[in-house]
Amino acid sequence: MRFWMVFAWLSSALLLAVAQETVLTDDALHKPITVWQRLASLAEVLDDIRKQTGVPLRCQDALRETKLAVYVQNRPAREVLEQIASLFGWRWRRDEGGSYVLYLPDETRRALERALRDDRAATERALREVVQVAREWLRMPPDARAEAMAPYLQTREYPADLPYSVYLMEERAAQRQMTREQRIKPLVAHYLSEYSPQGEPPKPKRNALFSDGDTEGSLLHCLSEAGDAAMNRLLAGHTLGFSTRPTPDVSPLPPRVLLPFWTRCTQTDAESLLRYDSESGKYIEVRPFPNPEWGGYWVRLSAWGDSLEYQIVTLSVFEYDGKTEKFLNVVPGRLPLPLEEYLAETETWRQWDSWATPMEEWNERLKERKPLDRPKPVLNRDEPLLSAYVLEWVAWRIGYPVISDASRYVPAWYRDQLDNPSALLTLLSGDLWLRFDPSGYLLARHKRFWMLNRFEIPERIVRPLEAKWLAWQWLSLDDYATLAAAISDEQARGFTWARRRGRLQFWTAFDNSSLYSNLPALRFWVSLSASQRQHALSGEWIPEGTLTLPQRRLFRAALYHDFPPPEQLLRDLPDDHKQSLAIARGLDADEFPEFVHEGLRQAPDMPAFRVVQGKPINELSVLKPESEPGWRTYRLYTVSSGVNREGVDWKKVFQEAGLQEDPTEATLETAVNIVFEFTLPLRQFERYILSQSRRAEFSTGASP
């Protein structure tokens, strides 16, 4: 049955290509053309071909921003147009005015809808099976669990100097030989490797305070005890809460769940509760420490469907300088799911696997290939290396015309292999389906393109900001707002701070971390009129009462960032607790309060916001010669000299810092900060720090 489904799909693609021969009939389309577009919209590619042939070409408005990489030299225009249509499943027609129009046919739209359904089903299977494996292991006695997990915790050792590209190739080759169970159980074992439920001896941890393994195991334990109803809510897009002091809409923390170590202690007593084991290089709890009175998780399924996003909230209560201090900690995180293992079993994935040329046939295709007679591709090291850029090297090096979709979400961490086409194709195959078409083209589609396309930001918006950054100009608040305005309500859930920690993120030459961490504030800023923005930039507090109703909704959304407020998770939080606002280095602590309660005291007694723009700050971070086990200690100096495109006068910078001799390692950072503050008395206060920076590193080459 599956064979016939794949055959039917491939046959329809073939019939589509044949059908185009009866549509693109202009003699001018027989003209050989060269199209060399690295990361372009479909509208730009068609305009390029129109200029070379004189034939009017356009596409449906919904397709205009689709990103392509096209590297074709001296091939008939009609051939290029047919290959583009065939690769994407589009069709050509001629309108009444004589223009050729590229459009999305119903069968391709239905195929995309099916791909999204398959993707969703794979996400559900991945989540349920990860939780089920964790449930089975966590219900075992400690010794039996350790024995069951042991075979899956063995890791391959690689030489320290092994290039990352070689590591990638070896890892992918090994994964191709694994069954789904062999790939999923090691992941769950890793998540549980540093976690101990309540009542069990504590496990060693890689880091003294914050350990991902400790946190991931604790979160999985919550979900494994939650039941099917909770899992269904999670899959339906709801945010779940688990709490030691639950509010009515939040689940109680399951009895055996132990929260991460850092939530159960304070920095004042951490040293007395941990012992460093020099043999294993890990930290061991001297004695178990109970859960805090107030602590828990918010957790939801990522909009990408490939991970869980969570927020740990805990209230630490301790004695300091004779006073009882209550400190609220809020830490976001992300737990990846083994999605691709389940995607590989869907019909959509199998169809594309069948479309791609098997790796065993690549060498035959590459025999006696020569570089094209054109300049060697140039890469700017200040820009991220994307898969679409690497395809240009493949096209130039082996002389194959290449047509592919393009994405800013797929980086290529293998500059060292650019002159090795066989290695490049092997590395690219981890992220793309590659087909050596019988017509003599190399065609490529990004794996999971149906999701990548949902979160792409149009190139016409990104390019001007990249050009500005590469010209060594700082981006303005309105520049970032331009990016934020291009993100729809549906897409906004895919641009979270937890997502920034993963590999699948939007890559640009300029620092776009602020897009992820400040999106709620930026979307609010976009809603303001020019006069409102001008008033806000004065640094004065602007009352919420002066805003329109749509602006007020975005104002309230900015107050709660990515998750609901802690008061909705933890019942009866003390009114006198403090909360960190993560002050950026170099900000004036007198102007910007460190804690929520201080911010509320300095803010007006009404809902309001303000914006403060800072001046460039230059900070020198120097590695100190002495270091503790597992730690690298740095000292920070404020200097007047900054990072610039001409380089850094390190001697001058070290003199400004008062250093008598050159340090072993140092980093100079120039940063510009724009601060948003939102207040909602009596309790709510939120700060966003939109920061952009340039860095330069210094090293003597000696070991610290």
Alpha carbons 229 and 242: distance in angstroms, whole number: 14
Of the pLDDT bands very low, low, confident and very high (cuts 50, 70, 90), residue 9 is very low
- For residue 69, which phi and psi values (nearest 5 degrees)? -120, 120
The two structure tokens encoding residue 266: 């304070």
Alpha carbons 221 and 138: distance in angstroms, whole number: 7
Alpha carbons 253 and 314: distance in angstroms, whole number: 13
The reported pLDDT for the residue numbered 153 is 84
For every residue of 326-350, DSSP letters joined together read EEEEEEEEEEE--HHHHHTTSHHHH
Is 5 a residue whose pLDDT tops 50? no
For every residue of 511-547, DSSP letters joined together read --HHHHHSHHHHHHHHHS-HHHHHHHTTT--EEGGGS
Strand order in the sheet with 323-336: 251-252, 240-243, 294-301, 307-320, 323-336, 578-579
- Return the percentage of the chain with pLDDT > 70, whole number: 91
Taking residue 378's Cβ as centre, other Cβ atoms within 10 Å add up to 6
The two structure tokens encoding residue 656: 């400004």
Of the pLDDT bands very low, low, confident and very high (cuts 50, 70, 90), residue 701 is low
For residue range 281-334, list pLDDT tens digits in order: 777 777 778 899 999 999 999 999 999 999 999 998 877 777 887 888 888 899
DSSP structural state of residue 357: P
Is 179 a residue whose pLDDT tops 80? no
Of the pLDDT bands very low, low, confident and very high (cuts 50, 70, 90), residue 70 is very high
């590659």: which residue's tokens?
434
For every residue of 455-468, DSSP letters joined together read HPPPHHHHHHHHHH
For residue range 508-538, list pLDDT tens digits in order: 999 888 889 899 999 999 999 999 999 999 8
Name which of 316, 256, 261, 257 is nearest 284 in CA terms.
261
The type of residue at 27 is D
Burial class (CB in 10 A: 0-12, 13-18, 19+), 331: middle
Contact 119, 110 (CB under 8 A): no
The reported pLDDT for the residue numbered 210 is 62
For residue range 230-269, list pLDDT tens digits in order: 999 999 999 999 999 999 999 999 999 999 988 887 655 5
For residue range 428-479, list pLDDT tens digits in order: 999 999 999 999 999 999 999 999 999 999 999 999 999 999 999 999 999 9
Is 418 a residue whose pLDDT tops 50? yes
For residue range 345-386, list pLDDT tens digits in order: 999 999 999 999 999 999 888 888 889 999 999 888 889 999
The reported pLDDT for the residue numbered 589 is 60
**Max avg pLDDT among 101-105, 154-158, 482-486, 670-674:** 101-105
Mean of the per-residue pLDDT values for the chain? 87
The reported pLDDT for the residue numbered 666 is 93
The reported pLDDT for the residue numbered 216 is 92
Choice between 7 and 126, residue whose per-residue pLDDT is larger: 126
Burial class (CB in 10 A: 0-12, 13-18, 19+), 51: exposed
The reported pLDDT for the residue numbered 20 is 43
The type of residue at 487 is I
The reported pLDDT for the residue numbered 74 is 96
Of the pLDDT bands very low, low, confident and very high (cuts 50, 70, 90), residue 623 is confident
Is 645 a residue whose pLDDT tops 80? yes
The reported pLDDT for the residue numbered 211 is 63
Choice between 209 and 204, residue whose per-residue pLDDT is larger: 204
Of the pLDDT bands very low, low, confident and very high (cuts 50, 70, 90), residue 15 is very low
Is there a cis peptide before residue 528, judged by omega within 30 degrees of 0?
no
Query: How do the residues of the chain divide into helix, strand and coil, expressed in percent and rounded to 5?
Result: 40, 20, 40
Question: What is the arithmetic mean of pLDDT over 42-50?
Answer: 98
Beta bridge partners of 313: 296, 330
Choice between 461 and 584, residue whose per-residue pLDDT is larger: 461
For residue range 114-152, list pLDDT tens digits in order: 999 999 999 999 999 999 999 999 999 999 999 999 998
For every residue of 577-602, DSSP letters joined together read -EEB--PPTTS-TTTS-SBHHHHHHH
For residue range 543-557, list pLDDT tens digits in order: 999 999 999 999 999
Contact 40, 68 (CB under 8 A): yes
Burial class (CB in 10 A: 0-12, 13-18, 19+), 38: middle
